[in-house]
Structure 1
Amino acid sequence: MAKLTFKRREKKFLVSFEQYKSIIHELLDRGMEYDGYCAGGNTYRLYNIYFDSDTNRIIRSSVQHPKFKEKLRLRAYFLPRSDDDPVFLEIKRKIKGTVVKRRAAMSYGEAKEFIHCGCRPKTDDYMVNQVLDEIEFYLKVYDVKPKVYLSYERVALFSRTDPDFRVTFDGNIISRRTQLDLFCEDRGESLLDDGELVMETKFSGAIPAWFCDILSKNKVYMSGFSKYGNEYTRYRGSDFLHLKDRPAPPIPRIGADKQIQ
């Protein structure tokens, strides 16, 4: 059965494409492997819809960096072609730096019925019902609706010796606040400058010392980049670093250079 709960710490960094290639070399040399979605370094794309109130209550609170915050999103690993295609509804909470993500798998049609009509998917699975209870409570408390579409290409690696340590690279991040339906074409405005990527580390205890050495060697520094948070800043009209309100340009497909050894 697919994992429903993830508890970990996360750190984010903005990197250039050149830094990405250098870091990938060193991660592979350290024995890390590409996950099942990106065998050989190929990218895969994630499609997300974030939910918020009419007043953007959720994201307005989030960008103020409270000790506790939570958000709801719909995630798909490919654009659905019918209501029967699979998606995940996820609640992501951050409590004093620790992230807890809970999710439930369902069809796209079931997710829309749950969000718009309050009709939750039927299941006999106790753990899934627990997650659905939490999502149902969230929907009642916050009265949210679809607000933002976000998609991006990802390369993900995991450690064979430490299953809790993962590194992901996200590029070609695009967003829109119209056509908030996964049946629509994957298009929007870019959140990054050309060639920029968001690197994220996911871990349970501490970042390995050898990975800190890689960051230092490549002059990579923590940025705290939030995709939804930065989208909201741009939406509010701020001239924010790394945000350009323009059509998404083609950027190098991260992980596409298989000749790197």
Structure 2
Amino acid sequence: MTATEQARIVIIGGGPAGYPGGIPGGELADRMREQAVSFGATVVTDEVAAVQPGGPPFTVTTTDRTYHADAVIIATGARSRRLGLPSEDEYDGRGVCYCAICDGPLFAGQRVAVVGGGDAAVEEALALRRIASHVTLVHRRTELRAGAALRASLLESDIEVLTPYVVDEVLGGDLGVTGVRVRDVDDGSVRDLDVTGLFVAIGHEPASGLFEAYLKTDGHGFLWTESGTTATSVPGVFAAGDVADPRYRQAITAAASGCAAAIDAERWLLAHREQPSSPMHAEEEPHAGW
């Protein structure tokens, strides 16, 4: 039998969107967890198994206990889709990257490849071309899915485009990535690209699986929020960060939306004659759901 606790707000998630909800002021510091605790947040490292949405109070059940809350902030984030290659895992963080804005400067003057064919992939390739000495874009289909304006910018650049090709293997050694092996989908021929970085841009998967039965989404799994707010389709439930952001996916934008969610939740509680108190975090693995 699990223990039960009462909280005014339960924040599900532990990234930069989750912690500003537990900070009633001040800047987002490097040690967000410690800062949140210093402002009175209780951090629980556990996996959320279920939530009863018919609140308030909302019932949040984890592996070890149950929490009753008058409001809930969902900040479970999103995960970059992966190629599913063993060599991708081997060189993750050692040349295999998922964010050009974050990691691009590490490859200044070097040769890199980007895999993907949508808007995000072309944007990554164009951003990297301002930093890297050479950029190759690899896409599994003949036609890119990116919008017309991005395709036009790509054509005007000197970015090498390989279609229809797939990545078969990431090559490397003790110092990291040394190349990428790609295969022509049409004839099966293989070639090795001389690169030190591979940027995977094939989309993101929001950690919203267990919420989708109760909350409206955008059709791609990202939680819908009312325009200009963090309010979801269920009163008293708010969403912040990458789980509700299919566009920006940056730590600073997640932190900003976390702050907004805290304000929205506070105002909602006040409107329902509830006084806000210290929030309760239910930290979880990135794949864990509602």
Q: Give me the TM-score of the superposition, normalised by structure 1.
A: 0.25
Structure with greater Cα Rg = 2
Q: Give me the TM-score of the superposition, normalised by structure 2.
A: 0.23
